Amino acid sequence: MHVGLRVIRDEHRTLAAVVDGLSVLAQRMAGGQDRPDFPLLEAIIAYIEGFPARLHHPKEDSVLFPAVQRRTRDLDDTIAELHRQHEEDYERVTRLRAGLARWQADPAEAAAFAADARDYARFTMHHMTIEESRILHALPALLTEEDWTEIDRAFDANQDPMTAPELTSDYAKLFQRIVLLAPAPVGLG
């Protein structure tokens, strides 16, 4: 498997774990099963704001999708939808952060934040399913070795916090903090 494809799939798995963890924790905290842990929720949102939005999505938009479009126009509608979802992701994360601030100020906002977290997790999982089933699935038949070299180089630099051999980046440290602070079954705390 090409490095770029492995990295993209690894990043999707990590992001799926983080957004699912956010949803589960928000539901449990809002429902009274766990005490609200605002620093943990802030760390999760910071990870979501940072890693996918600043590293993962830009490389899909600037490297992966153009490589696909150089080889076929059959996926243009799907790629346009994924671009739109990347923009929507930013808006949804902004709403999550604002919702968390409202909850911190007013405990009555807990259920609204939990609903936003659940919706964000569903949105993200749907988005990644489209990428995996329509784009990544098509890559082996579409791309040349030259395309793969460019994609491998771009994505290999990301070093996903969950799979990176050395956890040194700010995102890796943040991911490690999330795992250590989050209660089971989400983390080790």
* 86 inside domain: yes
Q: State how far the Cα of 122 lies from the Cα of 119, in Å rounded to an integer.
A: 5
Separation of alpha carbons 9 and 6, rounded Å: 5
Work out whether the CA dihedral 26, 28, 31, 37 comes out positive or negative: negative
Could you identify the residue written with the tokens 């842990």?
A: 37
Helical pair 38-51 and 3-30, crossing angle rounded to 10 deg: 150
In a domain, 170, yes or no: yes
13 in Cβ contact with 165 (< 8 Å): no
77 is a domain residue: yes
The pLDDT of residue 54 is 78
Q: State which residues form the domain around 129.
A: 3-181
Let me know if residue 186 belongs to a domain.
no
Residue 170 pLDDT:
64
At 181 the pLDDT is 63
Is pLDDT larger for residue 44 or for residue 169? 44
Greatest Cα-to-Cα distance within the chain, rounded to the nearest angstrom: 55
Which residues, at least 6 apart from 87, have a Cβ–Cβ distance to it below 8 Å? Answer: none
pLDDT in tens, 77-132: 999 999 999 999 999 999 999 999 999 999 999 999 999 999 999 999 999 999 99
Tokens in use for 154? Answer: 């771009």
Question: How many structural domains are present in the chain?
Answer: 1
Position 187 in a domain: no
pTM of the model: 0.86
End-to-end CA distance of the chain: 34
Closest CA to 79 of 65, 67, 89, 90: 65
Residue 102 lies in a domain: yes
Predicted local confidence at residue 141, as pLDDT = 95
Q: What CATH number has the domain bearing residue 172? A: 1.20.120.520
Q: Give, as one character, the DSSP assignment of residue 182.
A: S
Among 23-32, 64-73, 115-124, which is the least confidently predicted range?
23-32
Whole-number pLDDT of residue 100:
98
Q: Quick check: is 189 in a domain? A: no
Q: According to the model, what pLDDT value does residue 168 have? A: 47
Grade residue 17 by pLDDT with cuts at 50, 70 and 90.
Answer: confident
| Residue 171: pLDDT band with limits 50, 70, 90 | low
| Inside any domain, residue 41 | yes
Q: Is 167 helix (H, G, I), strand (E, B) or coil?
A: coil
> What tokens does 95 get?
């709403």
Q: What is the pLDDT of residue 83?
A: 97
pLDDT at 185: 64
Looking at residue 178, its amino acid is: I
pLDDT band for position 167 (50/70/90)? very low
Q: CB within 8 A of 64, min separation 6: which ones?
A: 4, 8, 135, 151, 154, 155
Does the pLDDT of residue 151 top 50, yes or no? yes
